[in-house]
Homo-oligomer: A and B are copies of this chain.
Amino acid sequence: MKFKKMLLVNVARSIFSDENWKELNSLAEQNIFLAKDDPRFKEELKDVECLLTGYAIPVTNEHIDAAPNLKYIGTLATAYHAIDSEHARQKGIPVTNIAGYCVESVAEFSIAALLNELRQLDEGKMRVKNNSYSYEGLTVGEIKGKVFGVCGLGAIGMRLAEIAQGFGANVWYWNRTRKPQAESKGMVYKEKDELLSSADFISLNFAHTPETNLFLNEDAFLKIKSGAIVINTVPIETTDLDALENRLNKNDMIFITDHAEQMNKENPERFIQYKNCVQYPSIAFISKEARANMQEIFINNLKNFLSGSPTNVVNP
């Protein structure tokens, strides 16, 4: 079984190995590739059976209605908020995502980025380059014994919490619902305000939803304690950038994000000037291992649908 026509919109070729890319393309008789915002999108939809999209590519009810032969929508991301999956459901079209592929990658990146600041590695390397071998003036800390506050105890938050426990941190968590399994491992549930005001390290690990929109607002940034390090590996809409900037100006807190592109969209100069605002490209989710998982799940979703046992359907 294969699709007659497959339309791929902003599906990153560079994520795939040659072998997997070939296999993906072999799943349809005809493959059309479009970049984001290509005006041919709607026109191409009219005889498409399979629609594959990259992260956050809008697929509206109008798009779906413009594709009378559409049998399958797959997105190369965990988030599928840009797809009208409810409308697709009503028309019997499964929408699939790829979940859980980057749990380890994001959890390890979070520790990596935290330790980079905590140990002042950049300053250390710089000194040696300048032929200075002194540790004078460096103030470095440990994870052990500190309060590690994880906000959002899904798969990534949970894995990060486990690794933090391996370091000997005291893990607190905030989550929409209590997690008895986590609590049996010694992770302690805290209300948001208490977590923010007492944690040494604060990590955001929830999905961006109406509830978590601007989770770090003015009030939150006022509560976070002096010396804290905040790690945001989720969409920047969870963070009020004006409130963040106010707090950065106090120079008593470090904010780390791998969502630099989003953060700097309006004004690339705004946050670059803050030494206590540490910005990375989207590298948290992109380990070799995560890329391999991503390709495998994405292709298997397609193959499983074609063989009659669809997987990772988000709108059953």
Q: Which residues of A contact B (CB under 8 A)?
A: 14, 104-105, 108-109, 111-113, 115-116, 118-122, 124-125, 127-129, 131-136, 138-145, 162-163, 165-168, 258, 260-261, 264, 268, 272, 278-283, 286-290
**Cα of A129 to Cα of B275 in the assembled complex, Å:** 11
Q: Which one of A105, A141, A144, A282 has the greatest number of beta carbons of chain B within 10 Å?
A: A144
Task: Note all chain B residues with C-beta closer than 8 A to A287.
Answer: 140-142
Tell me whether B104 and A111 are in contact (CB under 8 A). Answer: no
Partner of A127, one of B108, B125, B281, B288: B281
**Cα of A119 to Cα of B120 in the assembled complex, Å:** 16
Partner of A281, one of B108, B115, B124: B124
Tell me whether A116 and B112 are in contact (CB under 8 A). Answer: yes
Partner of A166, one of B109, B165, B260, B282: B165
- Shortest A241–chain B CB gap in Å is 16
Tell me whether B121 and A281 are in contact (CB under 8 A). Answer: no
Task: Note all chain B residues with C-beta closer than 8 A to A282.
Answer: 133, 135
- Shortest A78–chain B CB gap in Å is 17
Tell me whether B142 and A105 are in contact (CB under 8 A). Answer: yes
**Cα of A176 to Cα of B121 in the assembled complex, Å:** 32
- Shortest A20–chain B CB gap in Å is 17
Q: Which one of A112, A129, A282 has the greatest number of beta carbons of chain B within 10 Å?
A: A112
Closest residue of chain B to A145, judged by CB? B289
Closest residue of chain B to A269, judged by CB? B131
Tell me whether B125 and A280 are in contact (CB under 8 A). Answer: yes
Closest residue of chain B to A112, judged by CB? B115
**Cα of A187 to Cα of B165 in the assembled complex, Å:** 19
